Amino acid sequence: MTKTRAILRAIFGIHHHHNDVARHSTTTRSVMMRVTLDAQHVTPLRRALTRDCAGQPWTIRIATLPHTERVQLSLYLPKDAVNGAIQQVTRIAPAAQFGHLFEIPDTPTDGWRDLLRATSWAQAASALRPARTHVKPGDDSVDTLDQLLSVSNVLLDTELADRAALFAQLGACCETRYGVPAQQVIDGLNTREALGSTGLGQGVAVPHSQIAGLLTPVVLYVRPRVPLDFDAPDAKPVTDVIALLVPEGANTMHLNLLADVAQRFCDQHFRERLHACASATEVCRLFSSTGEASEIPALMPYPAARTGAPGARLRA
C-alpha cells in the first residue's frame, strides 16, 4: 500500500500540507479516484472525508459488487485533498484497492466524458463477469493500444495546418493501408467531433469513430510538428493525437480502447516519456512496456453483447 501511495503522489504531484492550507488552496473538484473496499468501511470513510473536506466541494458515489461484500467508490475531490483521502482509506481499510485516477479539467469536453464512461463501464464489467478463455476470430474482443499500434501508424513531426488537415491525413492512411475510403473516415471523425471536442487537455486529443466497412481496429499516433488547436478544455494546443477507428458496431472494442487511452494518457509520466521518443520504434516500445507494467486494473477480458449495457453508449 505504501508503494500505491507513492505512485499516486508521483502522478499528481501531491505533497503533505496542513489541513487549513489545503482547504483554502482550491475550491474545485479536480481529481476522480476509484477505490474498492469492504462495504463495512464505507460509513467510517465517509465520516472521515466529511470532516477532512469541510468547506470544499466533494462527492462520493457507491456501486455495489454483486455476490461480494465489497463496493466500488468513485471519489471526486479537490486535488489538494487527495493525499489526505489516500491516508484515510489506508487507515480505515488496509485491504482497499485503488483503481483509475483522473485529473478532471475545469470544463471537461465530451471527449473527456467518453473516457470516463469507457473506463467506468469496462472496469465494472471486468470485475463482475468471468473472463472468457477463448475468443473467436472476428469477435468484438480484447485488443489494446500496444497490440494495435504499429510503426507504420506512428507519424512524428507531421506538417498539419489544422484539425481538418489531421483528419485528411488519417483518412489517407486508412485508405492506403486498410482499403477504407478516406472520405468515409473523415466524415466519421467530423461527425463525432461535431458532438463535442475530443481534445482532453494537457495537449492530448483522441479523435475516434466507428467506421462501416472497416474490418479491423486501427490505432494511429500523430505528433504534429506545430501543436494544433482542438478546443481543449484547458485551451492548450494538442501535441499528442491518438486516433481510434473501429468496425461499425464494435461497441465493446471501442470502449476498451478508450479505457486504454485513459489509463495511459492521464499519467503525466507516460506523456513525458512519449515526448522523449525520437522514433516510431521507440513510441511502439513505450506503449508495449507500459501495457505490460500497468498499475491500473486490466480492461474487460471478454466480448459483451453488441447491444451494449446501460451507460455504455458512446457518441460516435
Instruction: Name the amino acid, one letter, at 228.
Output: L
Instruction: With beta carbons less than 8 A apart as the criterion, state whether 129 and 302 touch.
Output: yes
Nine-digit cell string for 207: 479523435
Per the annotation, the verdict on 18 as an active-site residue is: no
Query: In 3-state terms, what secondary structure has residue 227?
Result: coil
- Catalytic option among 15, 16, 41, 208: 208
Task: Write the DSSP assignment of 197-217 as a string of letters.
Answer: --EEETTEE--EEEETT--S-
Instruction: With beta carbons less than 8 A apart as the criterion, state whether 22 and 86 touch.
Output: no
Query: In 3-state terms, what secondary structure has residue 303?
Result: coil
d(CA 204, CA 75): 24
Query: In 3-state terms, what secondary structure has residue 73?
Result: strand
Residue 219's alpha-carbon distances to 64, 137, 167, 209, 232, in angstroms, are 34, 19, 13, 11, 21
Nine-digit cell string for 81: 485533498
Closest CA to 202 of 104, 120, 116, 276: 104
d(CA 307, CA 153): 30
Instruction: With beta carbons less than 8 A apart as the criterion, state whether 208 and 262 touch.
Output: no
Dihedral-angle region of residue 308 (phi above 0 means left; psi in -120 to 50 means alpha; beta otherwise): left
Closest CA to 59 of 80, 36, 75: 75
d(CA 245, CA 260): 14
- What residues are annotated to the active site? 208
